[in-house]
């Protein structure tokens, strides 16, 4: 993505200020974040997954970006394995005062945006209809040769006509995880295909404060130790900026293209 272009004149005698030409950043399409609070022991959670799949098919996977956050009472049971549960997911579950599952947040909006997965479609449509992207991201992940250390560079580009302030959040998610899932019919699917599962928050669990002006590019770099159980080819980086009024923009970038 190219947001700001610097065009350099060929003549060395031209003054520095005269060699730089500002180019207005093109408008970036809006994307919507669905935080799907789920669990392997939740019998109705596969229905929420089906709704996500429907929305992705309708709008595209670059427009609807879902993250399955295994947390809460149905994500683990005493004495049994909980391979997809994360402590950071439980922090979010508690912070938003969630209870029954499946539940979800659409762009972290409250009030008129209900949590039931049956209303996620209305929430996505509302966001796409009533808001535009105030920032854009260029996310560049790099694995070391041993594939055990990840470096992520995030360039945040100001797209709004006014200053945008919020918290920059960077997550690692993984697709195509073969593991068990309790199903709506009461059975246990031992080989359920779990998608877009939150594996880790690459930066602070609540994001890093950021302010970006129109046309400005703010660069942040983060490092993460990769768990040997994660498959890099199935992993992606979810990057978003949010404040008390919700998510301003979100993108998803594959770890390995």
The secondary structure of the chain as a DSSP string is: ------PPPS-TTS-TGGG----PPPP----EEEEEEE-TT-TTHHHHHHHHHHHHHHH-TTTEEEEEEE-STTS--TTS--TT--HHHHHHHHHTT--SSSEEEETT--TTS---GGGHHHHHHHHHHH---SEEEEEEEEE-TTSSEEEEEEEEEE-SSS-EEEEEEEEEEE--EEEEEE-TTS-EEEEEEE-SEEEEESS-TT-EEEEE-TT-EEEEEEEEEPPTTS-GGGEEEEEEEEETTEEEEEEEEES--
Per-residue pLDDT tens for 111-123?
A: 444 478 898 999 9
**pTM for this one?**
0.87
What integer pLDDT is reported at residue 109 of this predicted model?
A: 80
* CATH number of the structural domain 26-132+169-201+229-254: 3.40.30.10
What integer pLDDT is reported at residue 27 of this predicted model?
A: 58
What integer pLDDT is reported at residue 257 of this predicted model?
A: 82
Per-residue pLDDT tens for 79-112?
A: 777 899 999 999 999 998 888 889 999 999 854 4
What integer pLDDT is reported at residue 110 of this predicted model?
A: 57
Per-residue pLDDT tens for 12-41?
A: 343 434 444 444 545 568 999 999 999 999
What integer pLDDT is reported at residue 28 of this predicted model?
A: 65
């Amino acid at each position: 993505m190219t947001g700001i272009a610097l065009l350099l004149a060929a003549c060395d005698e031209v003054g520095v200020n005269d060699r730089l030409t500002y180019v207005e950043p093109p408008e970036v399409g809006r994307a919507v974040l669905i935080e799907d609070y789920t669990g392997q022991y939740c019998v109705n959670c596969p229905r929420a997954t089906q709704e996500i799949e429907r929305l992705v098919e309708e709008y595209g996977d670059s427009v609807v970006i879902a993250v399955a956050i295994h947390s809460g009472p149905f994500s683990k049971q005493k004495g049994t394995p909980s391979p997809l549960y994360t402590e950071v997911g439980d922090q979010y579950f508690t912070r938003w005062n969630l209870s029954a599952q499946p539940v979800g947040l659409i762009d972290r909006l409250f009030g008129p945006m209900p949590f039931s997965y049956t209303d996620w479609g209305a929430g996505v449509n509302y966001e796409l209809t009533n808001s535009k992207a105030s920032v854009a991201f260029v996310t560049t992940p790099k694995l070391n040769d041993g594939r055990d250390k990840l470096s992520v560079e995030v360039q945040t580009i100001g797209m709004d006509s006014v200053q945008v302030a919020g918290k920059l959040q960077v997550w690692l998610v993984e697709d195509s995880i073969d593991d068990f899932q309790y199903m709506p019919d009461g059975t246990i699917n031992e080989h359920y295909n779990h998608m877009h599962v939150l594996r880790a928050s690459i930066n602070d669990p609540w994001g890093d404060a950021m302010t970006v002006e129109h046309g400005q590019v703010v660069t942040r770099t983060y490092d993460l130790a990769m768990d040997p159980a994660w498959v890099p080819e199935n992993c992606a980086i979810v990057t978003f900026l949010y404040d008390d009024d919700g998510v301003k923009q979100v993108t998803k970038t594959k770890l390995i293209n």
